[in-house]
Amino acid sequence: MKHYTSGIVFILKFLEGLLNFDFPFLSKFKGFDNLYLPFGGILFYFSFYEAVRLIIKKDSKKIFFINYVFILIIFLSVIDLSPITFGVISTPFVIRDINNFFSIFLFGSFLLNIKNLKISNIVLFLCIITTLVHLGISVERHIKDHKDSSYNILKPNSHYYESNFSMSLKEIDNNEKYAKTYFSEDAWKLIYDRRSKVFLEANIFYFTDLIKYKIYPFNLQFKNASKHQLRLQPVKMYTILEPKKEEINNNFFFNIFNINYLLILESEIEQIDLNKFKKIASIKNLDDNFLFLELLDKRSVLLNPDYVFKDNKCELKPEINCLINQKDLFIKSDKINFNRINLNKYKIKNISNEKTRFVVPFLYDESWRSSDGEIENIKDTLMFVEIEPNSEIVIFYRDHIRIVLKIFSIISFLFLIFFLIKIKKTY
């Protein structure tokens, strides 16, 4: 219920700060409170009143029964939908956002039914003021947080190119285009928590900021993208690819996913097989320097032609752990050239005299397609494609369902505009 009471709560929290008064039943405002925002004001409450009024008056047809949908969504948002939706909708935030959309129509209906223009203006004024109150305390909190911290995202370091991180990597030329970089566990935490001056001075506030240095992170936080083959997550469409030293030490993991680099702290090198890497840069960091390592063996990964697939039961989860630890499943080869053509399109060339089954460096997704033959999957986790001797193929990503839904949404939008124009002319 925090979502639906927050409009009032935010007003009370604003009064707490303004009057320097402490409501015993309220906690101090935190940035995390924004997750419980129905609309940052009282608009939701007027919409709820209008939804109930239309039901009592039996006048729901007037707004195409949106009020029924609105109330149904409120009910759905307070129950756990993950068993029904297989984890796709496991939090009320998604449903709450849908309800925000419907509340606008109900609020418009509410205003139209107010006969007195002055009262209508007062309602609008109250909604605007309460929304501005919430924005005000959010901005004030944001400014206070940055005053207390050693960095400010809104005021990045204009001399970042003189930072230790930038200068240390200046001489490195990433010849392997779009090769990924893996982070050690401690290095990842320092970036994730924004606790390292080395990264903050270089304007690296999050992993994606490394791209401007031509460093392409493998360990990221994904929203609305399932990576369940790599990590088990309670929320299906939210995944954090946190580092694991078992993956660093595995003989095939880096090669499968085109990971050529490792960023690690000196204090962690005893936990990995250092013989797999060579040091290409050292970045000063107080008592524990960062090391930028390059993988020595960058050969592609193929399916072993002598391996016979068995339906073996594996207790390791997720499934990737079974595959990369399965004996004799993979072999390495330097007879494969893998190059990016453009976004989601790659050319794979087999320069050997034998037919090969190349393991594609992406997680299984049925939308990946090949210019020659089919892309097959391994336990719905990895993918491979057969390539004839001394030949090349192109693989590309094309989601037909998404294309159809996009076309359908455009047609529906145009039809809705036509329908509204026709209704306006009729009435």
**DSSP letter string, 146-163:** HHHSS--TTS--TTGGGS
What is the DSSP-derived secondary structure letter of residue 268? G
Encode pLDDT of 40-53 as tens digits. 568 888 999 999 99
CB 355 within 8 A of CB 384: no
Task: Check pLDDT > 90 for residue 353.
Answer: yes
Smallest CA-to-CA distance from 169 within 288, 282, 259 is with 282
What is the DSSP-derived secondary structure letter of residue 34? G
Q: 96, 125, 148: which is the final residue of a domain?
A: 148
CB 168 within 8 A of CB 213: no
Q: Which residue has the higher pLDDT, 35 or 331?
A: 331
**pLDDT for the residue numbered 131:** 80
How far is the CA of 236 from the CAs of 48, 85, 316, in angstroms? Answer: 31, 10, 19
**Cα four-point dihedral sign 172, 176, 179, 182:** negative
Pair 130, 200 in one domain = no
What phi, psi does 276 have (nearest 5°)?
-80, -10
Q: What's 388's domain CATH number?
A: 2.60.40
Encode pLDDT of 219-277 as tens digits. 998 877 778 889 887 666 678 899 999 999 999 999 999 999 999 999 999 999 999 99
CB 264 within 8 A of CB 187: yes
Domain containing residue 101: 2-148
Percent of the chain with pLDDT over 90: 39
- Please tell me the least confidently modeled range out of 21-25, 42-46, 107-111, 218-222: 21-25
Q: Which residue has the higher pLDDT, 93 or 370?
A: 370
* Mean of per-residue pLDDT scores for the chain: 83
Task: Check pLDDT > 60 for residue 427.
Answer: no
* Residue 191 counted as domain residue: yes
Q: Which two three-digit tokens encode residue 391?
A: 């030949």
Give me the number of domains the chain comprises: 3
DSSP-derived 3-state class of residue 211: helix
**pLDDT for the residue numbered 81:** 60
Task: Check pLDDT > 70 for residue 426.
Answer: no
- Give the integer Cα–Cα distance in Å for 182 and 184: 7
Task: Check pLDDT > 90 for residue 4.
Answer: no
> What is the distance of C-alpha 44 from the center of its chain?
28
Pair 12, 140 in one domain = yes
Which among 103-112, 170-179, 386-395, 397-406 has the top mean pLDDT?
386-395
- Give the integer Cα–Cα distance in Å for 267 and 246: 17
Strands 391-397 and 368-370: antiparallel
* Residue 410 counted as domain residue: no
**pLDDT for the residue numbered 39:** 54
Residue with tokens 């998604």, as numbered in its chain: 94
* Residue 155 counted as domain residue: no
- Give the integer Cα–Cα distance in Å for 145 and 148: 5
Q: Calculate mean pLDDT across residues 310-325.
A: 78
* Residue 142 counted as domain residue: yes
